[in-house]
C-alpha cells in the first residue's frame, strides 16, 4: 500500500528548527525581534524564504555580513536530522518493508529541499515530492488512482479534506503534534483518524480489516 507523509509538523519539528536558527543568528548579531520580523516578512507565495530573510536583515543592519548569516543558516540546516520527531524513524523503518512510502511536502522548493535532504530520512521513501499546491491534490493525482486505497498522514486538516473529496478510498490520518501549526483548527468529516504521533499510526495499520 502507498503511504503518503507530509513533512513539516508531521515528521519534522519545524518549530525546533526555527528556534535553533533564531539562537544561532543571535550569535551573528541578529536580535530575536529582528529575526521574528524578517522571518514573517520573508514569506513568499509558498512560505518561508531564507534568502529573502537574509536580505531583509542586511537592509535593517547593513553592518552585518551576509556570508556569516549564510554560514549560520547552513550550520543549523545541516543538523536537520535532530529535528525529526523521535517517534518517526522506528515507524518508517517498520513500514518501509511492506509499503511504498511517499513524502509529499508543501513549501518553497529550495528551503524544503534543504530541510528534507538534511533530515536523513530520504532512504525510507520511494518518492519525494515538493509541491506548491497547498491542497496537494494535483500531486496525489500523479500518485494514486481514483479508487486506490492508500493512507495519507498530514497535519493540515483542510488538505485531508480536499484529498478525500477526490480519493474516496484514501484513509486520511490527521497528526496532531502539540506544537503543530494547525492544532487549533477543527477536525472535519473527511478525516478518518486523529493521532498524536506515529506510534498511533501503527495501531491503525494493525487493524488489518482495512487492507
The residue ranges that bind Mg ion (CB under 5 A) are 6, 8-9, 155
Task: List the strands of the sheet with 2-5, edge to edge.
Answer: 127-131, 100-106, 2-5, 150-154, 170-175, 193-195
Give 9 or 152: the residue with its C-beta nearer to Mg ion: 9
Closest CA to 163 of 8, 173, 120: 173
Give 127 or 181: the residue with its C-beta nearer to Mg ion: 181
Provide, rounded to whole angstroms, the least separation between the CB of residue 147 and Mg ion. Answer: 26
* Whole-angstrom distance, CA of residue 107 vs CA of residue 33: 24
* Whole-angstrom distance, CA of residue 76 vs CA of residue 115: 10
Give 21 or 104: the residue with its C-beta nearer to Mg ion: 104
Provide, rounded to whole angstroms, the least separation between the CB of residue 196 and Mg ion. Answer: 15
Query: Taking a C-beta distance cutoff of 8 angstroms, is the pair 100, 126 a contact?
Result: yes
* Whole-angstrom distance, CA of residue 79 vs CA of residue 118: 7
- 43: Cβ contacts below 8 Å, ≥ 6 apart: 49, 52
Provide, rounded to whole angstroms, the least separation between the CB of residue 135 and Mg ion. Answer: 12
Give 11 or 34: the residue with its C-beta nearer to Mg ion: 11
Give 155 or 162: the residue with its C-beta nearer to Mg ion: 155
Provide, rounded to whole angstroms, the least separation between the CB of residue 126 and Mg ion. Answer: 20
Provide, rounded to whole angstroms, the least separation between the CB of residue 134 and Mg ion. Answer: 10
* Whole-angstrom distance, CA of residue 64 vs CA of residue 54: 10
* Whole-angstrom distance, CA of residue 47 vs CA of residue 161: 21
Amino acid at each position: 500500500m502507498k503511504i503518503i507523509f507530509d513533512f513539516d509538523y508531521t515528521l519534522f519539528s519545524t518549530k525546533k528548527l526555527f528556534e535553533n536558527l533564531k539562537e544561532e543568528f543571535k550569535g551573528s548579531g541578529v536580535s530575536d525581534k529582528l529575526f521574528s520580523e524578517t522571518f514573517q516578512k520573508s514569506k513568499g507565495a509558498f512560505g518561508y524564504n531564507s534568502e529573502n530573510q537574509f536580505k531583509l536583515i542586511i537592509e535593517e543592519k547593513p553592518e552585518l555580513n551576509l556570508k556569516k548569516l549564510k554560514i549560520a543558516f547552513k550550520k543549523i540546516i545541516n543538523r536537520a536530522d535532530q529535528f525529526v520527531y523521535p517517534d518517526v524513524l522506528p515507524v518508517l523503518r517498520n513500514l518501509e518493508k511492506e509499503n511504498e512510502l511517499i513524502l509529499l511536502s508543501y513549501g518553497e522548493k529550495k528551503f524544503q529541499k534543504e530541510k528534507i535532504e538534511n533530515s536523513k530520512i530520504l532512504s525510507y521513501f520511494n518518492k519525494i515530492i515538493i509541491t506548491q499546491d497547498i491542497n496537494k491534490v494535483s500531486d496525489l493525482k500523479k500518485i494514486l488512482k481514483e479508487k486506490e486505497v492508500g493512507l495519507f498522514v498530514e497535519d493540515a486538516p483542510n488538505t485531508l479534506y480536499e484529498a478525500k473529496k477526490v480519493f474516496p478510498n484514501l484513509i486520511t490520518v490527521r497528526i496532531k503534534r502539540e506544537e503543530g501549526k494547525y492544532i487549533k483548527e477543527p477536525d472535519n468529516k473527511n478525516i478518518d483518524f486523529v493521532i498524536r504521533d506515529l506510534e498511533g499510526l501503527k495501531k491503525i495499520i494493525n487493524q488489518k480489516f482495512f487492507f
